[in-house]
Structure 1
Amino acid sequence: MHVVPGLKVLYFGTPVVLVSTLNEDGTPNLAPISSAWWLGQHCMIGLGNNAQTTANLLREGECVLNLPSSAMVDAVDRIALTTGKRTLVDYKVEQGYRHEPDKFGAARLTEQASELVKPPRVAECPVQLECRLVTVNPFGGPERHATAFEVEVLRAHVEEELVIPGTHHVDPIGWDPLIMKFCEFFGGGRNVHPSRLAEGWKMPHRVAAV
């Protein structure tokens, strides 16, 4: 039997992406998101309008989409409730966000120079996609509180062990992406780590302790 609960959140399961951009002063920003999908060599990502990443992408027109494996969940969770914005809006303060100017340091991740864009890659991520901005679309209603960005993938970097020998394809068995489902972290079909984001959003979850 189906019920009609009026769902508040529609995060049925999407890959976590660490988006690296450049701040106005040239320092790198790193933000975990989970609103992304790909078609061909293009990707759509969704970001809140109050995010530092949104401001950076609109200004600079470049980013790197770094895809962490499920084994990197600790690093992602460490920056889940951080923002590059110096001034926080009220709802982020209530959710427990804090300003963090050094996202790479806070996550304990390593900057790696990109080849075609200015923002750095995340060295530890098995998949790194250098991208340029193509189109910008207001999103979310009735008030437009978010932005959907279409980016073109200029260059894809993939750990050699994940590439099927003799092909240009990723091994779907070897690749275990970190997935976010309803603000909780999953990998290999199981909950892999408690989520600060779920706590901040006060999600009424029933997941087993990790």
Structure 2
Amino acid sequence: MNMKSSGTHVVVHPGMLYYGNTVVLLSTTNPDGSTNIAPMSSSWALGDTIVLGMGLGSRTAENLAARGQAVLSLPGPELFAQVERLGDMTGVDHARSQHGHGSMRVRDKFSAVGLTPEPCDLVSCEGVRECRLQIEVKVVHCEEDVGHGFLLVQAHVLRVHADPAIVVAGTSHIDPTAWKPLIYNFRHYHTLAPQIGESAITETPTAAR
């Protein structure tokens, strides 16, 4: 390892920069109209736009490029075992291993890991009932990354579904004290610790929390 000139940090080479990303179970529509679900953690949201990143050649990437719709179901920490098992499954015939995952061909992933499909309003693929937050989206742009190993997708939010227990009563605000997402932090599963403060620009009513 090399030291910075200041001597305060060392140069490292992580195998993958998964620095505390929220886990998503991404549903897409297969060619036969059935739903494929796959775990991912490369996503971020800006307003009504969500950016997704996934490996080229996966069933998810093929479905997104071909049919342009998806559901993002955000699991809580109680679902980490199902998420991890899904990582060993693929929906394509040309199954291949990615980082030790994605080598087992599975037709019905919902049943295989004990999750329940739930119909959505504006897209044909199904969400995951056990996930307390679900987001329907349509794809607006797809392109390969600069290294030609991943598909980068920009998607527009169509509708958000939430368990009433995580919504501030009388509002459309997600209560951050009630909602704890599953987080993938350098290939380890975590969730949020207790709140230590709040942003000055928060719009969530304090009195309701």
Q: TM-score range by the shorter chain?
A: 0.7 to 0.9
Distance 1:93 1:73 in 2: 18
* Higher alpha-carbon deviation: 164-173 or 127-136: 164-173
For 1:108, give the aligned amino acid: G
Deviations 1:76-127 (A, max 9, x none): 12211111111123x4496572111111111211111111010011111100
1:117 is aligned to 2:128: no
| TM-score w.r.t. length of structure 1 | 0.84
| Aligned twin of 2:144 | 138
Counterpart residue number, 1:168: 172
CA RMSD of aligned residues (A): 1.7
Q: What displacement does 1:173 show?
A: 1.1
State the distance in 1 between where 2:166 and 2:100 align.
40
SS in 2 for 1:76: helix
Separation in 2 of the partners of 1:131 and 1:79? 21
Q: Give the whole-Å Cα distance in 2 for the aligned partners of 1:26 and 1:135.
A: 22
| TM-score normalised according to structure 2 size | 0.84
Moved >3 Å (runs of 4+): 91-96
- Worse-superposed segment, 108-117 or 68-77: 68-77
Partner of 1:107: 113
For 1:160 and 1:183, locate their aligned partners in 2 and report how far apart those are by CA, in whole Å.
Answer: 31
Q: Secondary structure at the match of 1:37?
A: strand
Residues matched between the structures, number? 187
Separation in structure 1 between the aligned mates of residue 173 and residue 91 of structure 2, nearest angstrom:
35
Structure 1 match to 2:86: 79
Q: In 2, distance between residues paired with 1:149 and 1:96?
A: 20
Is the contact between residue 74 and residue 131 of structure 2 (CA under 8 Å) also seen in structure 1?
Answer: yes
CA displacement 1:58-85 (0-9 Å, x = unmatched) = 1111000000011111221221111111
CA contact (8 A) 2:90 2:102 kept: no
Runs of 5+ unmatched residues, structure 2:
1-7, 194-209
Cα distance in 1 for residues equivalent to 2:67 and 2:102? 28
The answer for unaligned runs of 5 or more in structure 1 is 190-210
CA distance in 2, matches of 1:140, 1:157: 34
Change (3 A) 1:95 1:32: closer
Cα deviation, residue 146, structure 1: 0.4
Point out the more displaced range, 127-136 or 161-170.
Answer: 161-170
